[in-house]
Amino acid sequence: MKLAIIGGGPAGFYLASRILSRSSDPALRIHIFDRLWSPHGLVRYGVAPDHPEVKNCTHKFDEQVASDGRFSFFGNVNVGNSAPLQNTIHIPLRDIQRNYSHLVFTTGCTVPTNHSALPPSPWVIPALRFVHWYTQHPSSPPAPALDKMTRVALIGNGNVALDIARMLLTDPSVLQQYDVPVSVLSILKQSKVSHVDILARRGPLQAAFTAKELRELLNLPNAAMEPIPSELLAIPADTTPSRAQSRIFQLLQKGSKMSFGNTPKSFSLRFFVNPTGLVPPLSEGMPQLQLEQTSLDAAGRALSGSRLPPLPVSLVVPSIGLQPDPALGPIRTRAGRVLSANGHSVLKNMYAAGWAATGARGVIATTMMDAYAVGDTLLDDLGGCEGEMHMNPEPSDDRPPEVIQTANRIVTSYADWKRVDAEEVRRGQQQGKERERMTWSEARAFLWDL
């Protein structure tokens, strides 16, 4: 088997680790391609800086994947029609099909879901862009003008929304010990944001955040939560909450560590509220977020209701989900196997794992289990899986496509990444922090003395 994995995030590395651990075949080759110059995808560019423990999975990737001589990583390689980034090389998907016997898509979900009532504007930016700003993603989104903002509204109450709220409400002197670039810290130190509204169209029982994320927000030393109306925190008599729901209700009933009105910053968790539009500011005023009251039907879907007073905001950040890159087309699967366009047949030796197959749901541990399952399916299929042939069953050699072999000072290897990784940690230690990140231009100059 000569396997190409498209996408170097946790799904791709977990899948590679599963196959390498189960196969003793010395002829096995696994090549991971990523359009970013560094590996680990969501772990590096999606995990909040103050959650360093979540990134510990990269140690496993180092020890169980990258150390295996049958594995190679190729960064700055854009496969197929996915959105290109600057300084990458392009490989048509057909070249992968010619050069490999098996293919797994682990391309994740890289496109934010837009809110129908909130088109992008100077006052509306998707959560993904905000996260990519503070993690210094190679797409290089511009920094938000936090020095001119006082109130931010987050639409959606998943963990990403709470991550952003925490970044805005935590004192930069606390954040500077973590993996936060100096340029980001500089903006956060100038921030005038004093209040964050977190809006959800359903209730506390349907909250998407975890108890851990909520607890961290409630325990901030310089920010307090606006009290939630008691009627919203009463569990209906005909409802038996899960253990996770019970913990969340207990935390919400207890409230924030600090008393509301006695801290320099504050936040609110508003339930059964849905935005219906945004009115731009008049002269020196603030934009007005138009809102409606919602309720739930018998199936738990949010229903529109009466109009609520508008909410003055400096910035609105929708955080309502992510979608796969539409340029790659929808990847339909059955038990991890990719299906034909009509969904009737399996494409032999083609698979998808992680969010590319399941959609953007679950945490990294969920992705790990899915990737393991797909890896097991792939190995089980080696004995023969009927389907339309879309890969070359007998690649001529174990090398990557020729365009990679001839690329000079663009394509990165895992060894290149480890050199950068060590240097980022070294630079961070000099500043008393976890690491100081490099941009691609800095990494390229460091690697090749440019």
Annotated binding site for NADP(+): 157-160, 201-202, 213, 362
Report which of 357, 366, 360 is spatially closest to residue 339, judged by C-alpha positions.
357
3-state helix, strand, coil in the chain (%, to 5): 35, 20, 45
Q: Write down the residue that tokens 């590996």 correspond to.
A: 39
Q: Residue 67 and residue 84: Cα distance in Å, rounded?
A: 29
- Backbone φ and ψ of 239, nearest 5°: -120, 135
DSSP states along 94-138: HHHHHH-SEEEE-----EEPPPTT---BTTB--HHHHHHHHTT-T
Phi, psi torsion values for 270, nearest 5 degrees: -105, 125
Q: Which residues are annotated as a binding site?
A: 11, 42, 79, 157-160, 201-202, 213, 355, 362-364
Q: E strands, 102-261, where?
A: 102-105, 111-112, 151-155, 195-199, 223-225
Strands 322-323 and 111-112: antiparallel
DSSP 8-class letter at 231: G
Question: Positive or negative CA dihedral for 49, 50, 54, 56?
Answer: positive
Q: What are phi and psi of 143, to 5 degrees?
A: -70, 140
Which residue carries 């909040």 as its tokens? Answer: 48
Q: How far is CA 200 from CA 14, 247, 291, in A?
A: 33, 19, 11
Closest CA to 190 of 156, 153, 143: 143
Binding residues for FAD: 11, 42, 79, 355, 362-364
Q: What is the rounded CA–CA span in Å between residue 37 and residue 32?
A: 12
If one counts every other C-beta atom within 10 angstroms of the C-beta of residue 322, the result is: 21
Q: What number of H helices and E strands is found in the chain?
A: 15, 20
| The pair of three-digit structure tokens given for residue 324, joined into one six-digit string | 């796969």
